[in-house]
Amino acid sequence: MPQKVISFVTMKGGSGKSTSAMCLAAHWYKAGVRVALVDADPAATLVRWIETGDDLNGLRAAATAPEAVAEQINTLKADGFQRIIIDTPGFRSLATDDAIRQSDLVLVPMRPSPVDFQVAADTVELIDQIVAERATWDGTVRFLMSQTTRGSVIARHMRAQMEAAGYYPLAVELSSRVVYGEAALAGSTPSFYQPRGGATVDIAAFVTEVEGLLSGTPGTGTGIKNRTG
């Protein structure tokens, strides 16, 4: 399994960065993948989450200062981790920029609201600027719809608006479910806490879609706005 770096980035708190990052990591970890987390948010959400219970104790997570993110990624690569997941703060910092530069996949989580969409679109502009400075960057950027109400009109509307604007959301949505918070309270994630529940079904589909993007499945495309050519 080739080494891949995935970061969760958006300039808005509460979008679902930390939750989505932890759920992705935990699902891989449970499946025996060597996965490590870089917690670049000064709030240390992921490190505290793991310390809260037993389920995720074996999952490596390093609280990392912004100026140390690039080096931390290299260290984890040298240590042989197959998947390195970076959680960034809800504001731009050196951590954000370095995470983007070194990522194979940047996920921009957003709740289904016009304000969240605007911030997500601004985030993609920022990503564009950062990677434009690189001679080569063949990473992929995708929006991830989070905390949607299943079957709601607003989620469908936001998805259509994104696609019309040339952005590509993942097909999977991490819809709003109480179990995310309940599992977090127990230092866990749905994959451990409620392995047969609906949230775990969503997370499994999320993992599958991410794996497809990382392995460059033909037809999924790469590039900032999913240029499929």
Applying CB under 6 A, the span of 11-19, 26-34, 207-215, 217-225 interacting with ligand ADP comes to 11-19
CB nearer ligand ADP, residue 10 or residue 72 = 10
Which is nearest to 84 in space by CA: 68, 65, 99? Answer: 99
Q: Which is nearer to ligand ADP, 36 or 183 (CB)?
A: 183
The reply to whether 19 sits near ligand ADP by the rule CB under 6 A is yes
Q: Which segments within the chain are labelled E, that is strand?
A: 4-8, 35-39, 60-63, 83-87, 105-110, 140-146, 169-174
* Residue 14 or 197 having the CB closest to ligand ADP: 14
- Please report, as ranges, the residues that interact with Mg ion according to CB under 5 A: 17-18, 45
Residues 30-89 that bind ligand ADP (CB under 6 A): none
Comparison of 44 and 161: residue with beta carbon closer to Mg ion: 44
Point out which residues bind ligand ADP (CB under 6 A): 13-19, 90, 146-147, 174, 176-177, 180-181, 184
